[in-house]
Structure 1
């Protein structure tokens, strides 16, 4: 088992999409270079100042590549300080710079953004450098066990912190993907029921048309038109279903809610915040999957508002409006919007966004211009385009 764990660690790839270099990185590098310059200018000895300053500048600049090239940055920085320490041990009588302690950031970056084999190689480089620098320190002043343990402990802690944050980020991504998958599975069950309804309608219309064909050709023609319409709806729903990962979920035989059920979310019995529902426009020709999505999104948005809206007294829950071939849903509260706002990275919002996207629509959530927090989604009435 231990061998398998080591092999898995060795084969661990780099995390995708490391953060790009931002202004804070340049500020950090500039601060370290300035620190090195001041330290060289204020120190008492005068020998080898350009060399000592060069070491500090190299270490500071490598931090600019610590995310995109973590092993390369570590090799350059620790290779430079190792060569400098060896020179101090053999020929130079000069002390190092305190600013070089910035190399402590690099083990964190390596284990946070590097591949498994890169982390192993980098750790070996760090161990070699620590042995060299402790040997140099021992020449001028004996180094005890406590100092050795502390030296290795600092760098191991930096590496462990990077690894912990790396796996925390991986767990977060995995949880988000599972939330999306659950939402897709639920939508797949709803689409299954919708397609079943359409197929049943086609069967009934076909039977009616066959009975009427001999004596009432006009009724048979109307039945064919109904079959054509139902078949087109079914084809659109099936094409939507193909894009949904079902993962073996069993059909849910419970009747699915729709726009008409949004009114049940209203609450005016003294509970706070109060919930109002307003329906307007043409809402009679919505695809069943769109009706279900509107209800699900409205319910999730209301739940978030009730839980998270600060000092809210009223939630304008549903303004569902039929606009041409689209339907718009707005849920807005009158609570106070803090600097952090609502938990925009929560799984509920991810699920709402996923549901709207699969059906060919979009969803936005954020502070409303008139105050409070608003969730707005726009969906095509017939779902995703065929």
Structure 2
């Protein structure tokens, strides 16, 4: 188990899109460089003054690359610190360093925030070595060792926390995008499939009767024009949603009141009979839209796939706490082709489930196909 955890940590990729340099970096450099130079010049106890100033200036300038090359910058800066500590330890020399060098605690933060898992592992090892060698030169007690570790590794813990939050946020946004795409796919399938099916049926009927009844052909063209206009309008709403247009998101959804127009759009073959009962006025918009879309998809499936279907019955009944939608046709028994993995049934089932309802579809008791959805009046419980 522990080996798997270590392997997963080492396989962690770098955080995406690290900013190279922002205005805060230049402001930090503009503040630290003069401070380091002044400290190196004015402090009387600085040993090897030119070397200390060069190390401090180089370390501060290296902070500009801490996000894009976190391990390399940490290795260079802390490597110099380790080398100077070893030189002091072996040669019994005084410590070389300026107080301005405290700014290097930004490097552990940057490493944990932007580095890969392997880089983080190597970098933490470098930090531990730097801490040990530093206190080996100037040991002032366990308390100071502990406080020095806190000062060094606390920014690293903050970097890890920020990285975890950013990763979780990115995953949540990806999940929301997937849900929006699924919803768009359902809307596209439900809307376009129904209207295009109606257009195709009317066009076929108009072509058949054009020679013997021109007025019927004109009527078919009128229905085709209306269906095409409605399809275009709904497509514009969906395109507006893709563009994140707030006005498009506020467009009214179709609901139970639009079922009569939906039934008329199919025509006489097959005939759609609509029956509404109970109090359907105060339904939530999401529930009304789900009733409409499930009825629309069920009618489209019956028109497309049911053989010898002459009648489609749509019943919407409002009960005390729920709305019951039933759609059944009189096609040949077993002749209605339904693909359980198709988008239509999946979309209807998902719509019902999202609202806390139930959905069933299957062959009717006598003939045809029956779809039944039961949705709570107030939608899903939050």
Deviates more, 1:2-11 or 1:102-111: 2-11
Q: Does 1:191 align with 2:188?
A: yes
Q: Does 1:77 align with 2:46?
A: no
Aligned length: 249
- The separation in 1 between residues aligned to 2:23 and 2:103, in whole angstroms, is 18
- The separation in 2 between residues aligned to 1:26 and 1:257, in whole angstroms, is 44
Partner residue of 2:4? 4
Distance 1:47 1:211, change over 3 A: closer
Partner residue of 1:123? 124
Partner residue of 1:89? 89
- The separation in 1 between residues aligned to 2:148 and 2:219, in whole angstroms, is 86
The within-5 A match list for 1:169-184 is 169-184=166-181
The answer on whether the counterparts of 1:48 and 1:94 sit within 8 Å (CA) in structure 2 is no
The answer on whether the counterparts of 1:209 and 1:220 sit within 8 Å (CA) in structure 2 is yes
Partner residue of 1:158? 155
Partner residue of 1:216? 213
Distance 1:68 1:260, change over 3 A: closer
Q: Shift in Å at residue 235 of structure 1?
A: 11
- The separation in 2 between residues aligned to 1:75 and 1:52, in whole angstroms, is 18
Post-superposition CA distance 1:84-106 (Å, at most 9, x none):
22222233334421111111110
Q: Does 1:102 align with 2:103?
A: yes
The within-5 A match list for 1:27-38 is 27-38=27-38
- SS in structure 1 opposite 2:32? helix
Instruction: Choose 1 or 2 for highest CA Rg.
Output: 2
- The separation in 1 between residues aligned to 2:25 and 2:210, in whole angstroms, is 78
Partner residue of 1:57? 57
Q: Does 1:25 align with 2:25?
A: yes
- The separation in 2 between residues aligned to 1:132 and 1:28, in whole angstroms, is 28
- The separation in 1 between residues aligned to 2:198 and 2:120, in whole angstroms, is 62
The answer on whether the counterparts of 2:11 and 2:117 sit within 8 Å (CA) in structure 1 is yes
- The separation in 2 between residues aligned to 1:44 and 1:260, in whole angstroms, is 77
Q: Shift in Å at residue 164 of structure 1?
A: 0.7
Structure 2 unaligned spans of 5+: 243-248, 256-284, 287-382
- The separation in 2 between residues aligned to 1:4 and 1:100, in whole angstroms, is 38
Cα RMSD (Å): 3.6
- The separation in 2 between residues aligned to 1:95 and 1:257, in whole angstroms, is 66
Q: Shift in Å at residue 221 of structure 1?
A: 7.2
- SS in structure 1 opposite 2:192? helix
- The separation in 2 between residues aligned to 1:147 and 1:214, in whole angstroms, is 101
The answer on whether the counterparts of 2:70 and 2:110 sit within 8 Å (CA) in structure 1 is yes
Q: Shift in Å at residue 206 of structure 1?
A: 4.0
Q: Shift in Å at residue 155 of structure 1?
A: 2.1
Q: Shift in Å at residue 187 of structure 1?
A: 2.1
- The separation in 1 between residues aligned to 2:23 and 2:41, in whole angstroms, is 27
Distance 1:14 1:137, change over 3 A: same
- SS in structure 2 opposite 1:209? helix
The answer on whether the counterparts of 1:111 and 1:162 sit within 8 Å (CA) in structure 2 is yes
- The separation in 1 between residues aligned to 2:175 and 2:33, in whole angstroms, is 45
Q: Shift in Å at residue 144 of structure 1?
A: 1.7
Distance 1:186 1:64, change over 3 A: same
- The separation in 2 between residues aligned to 1:179 and 1:202, in whole angstroms, is 34
Q: Shift in Å at residue 259 of structure 1?
A: 4.5
Structure 1 unaligned spans of 5+: 246-255, 263-294, 297-386
TM-score normalised according to structure 1 size: 0.56
Q: Does 1:15 align with 2:15?
A: yes
Partner residue of 2:145? 148
- SS in structure 2 opposite 1:21? coil
- The separation in 2 between residues aligned to 1:116 and 1:188, in whole angstroms, is 37
The answer on whether the counterparts of 1:63 and 1:106 sit within 8 Å (CA) in structure 2 is yes
